[in-house]
Structure 1
């Protein structure tokens, strides 16, 4: 109760650091791949995008640890430490699998198609190697994303659970928070669409909303940092809805993302609709010589 009576302070340094490093090291990787393609570097060594990924694997856990230290309430340390370890492992798995995926793109792999529907996979001998590539994409899109994003959203929710103050306190977001809100929400949109974490995101958002309703009955309201997180998630959900609405009738992407939850990946949209227009000089390698291993 004593901490709830203290005047809340917006953690501008942490939120700027989290947003900037996410945009440069996470969202910026596809941009670097376009400006500095992987075939400009030795294909058996990391490229520019992989070095950004390495930096992201280091900075993200550090910022999450600092965020935990700023929490107004005492959080369960063993659970938080396990979350940080899982984030490191998940981002590391994703780094390795994503690096191999970039090499496959150079020989004609198309992200908007499944592994078995890709033309280059039909040329692989022996055909049983397709199972190995399916395992690779399982590590990339399922296991790696789950180990990275589940603890990430859990840490954000646990931090949010401590961001409440007494109703008598005047809570008003500063101008810096409003300026930082759009890029923060856009980053969460990228995590949802590219990371395919819509179910995880929506459950986290519903849990945050339920906690707000529960705390209001106790005479508590979200403080500045809690409002910033809540507004960022709300705007991100709106961006996802607009994204899905624009691509609702795309039959090819619906084959890539079957089922009730349809959230296309930005990279799949790029390889399907934009790649041939932005790089017409690149030869079509989808009918290259058979891959033998």
Structure 2
């Protein structure tokens, strides 16, 4: 009924928890690895996954390669990151809902529940975050963007599932900050309008899309605001107006790093880039 695609690169710390959450789903699990040097592949193989290797260019191209080349024979596909896991309630919901889905429904959005330093980040506008993660085979592709790429359906309607995916990376804070430094380089390209393969923004669907709304705000409000000032304002909106302070000490660290430091770093990289071109 369902195939799950997981992209990996040195995910030995996260993959066992991810795969354990899928055990009772009875799904075909495909792991697409891009050159791991740890025992990611061994973990996936021992868990009964079908493992494939493909060089990594960017996240969107890797997902689309998987969609187009994996031997998927099930009517539904799900995309899952290695540091994510399904709640037991979502597993049960998928098993009962997918076989009964009307033909006009071709995709499902799920809520992502982010954990940071062991704490669920509930506030600051971070929950619920709706993501289209389940779609009918042959009808979904990933838009080519540097950041925040989403699955786009060629036809049909989107419905919402009730239960959550949990996002909890087990690699520690140093990995998290290093990752966001790399994300910042991609974010610069995204904010400056550098396209991949000259592809337009495809997130324009006929259903309510939280992702579409957030992208509009990012492009038309945040993207047009003064460098550096917007990082301060964004953090204040998340931490004060969005009640991020209710997430405790872990929330302070998360909202400051993700909502201010990261955004300030992006602006610093943009400033440096523009300065070097003068």
Instruction: Name the larger-Rg structure.
Output: 1
What is the TM-score normalised by the length of structure 1?
0.30
What is the TM-score normalised by the length of structure 2?
0.31
Q: Which has the higher helix share?
A: 1
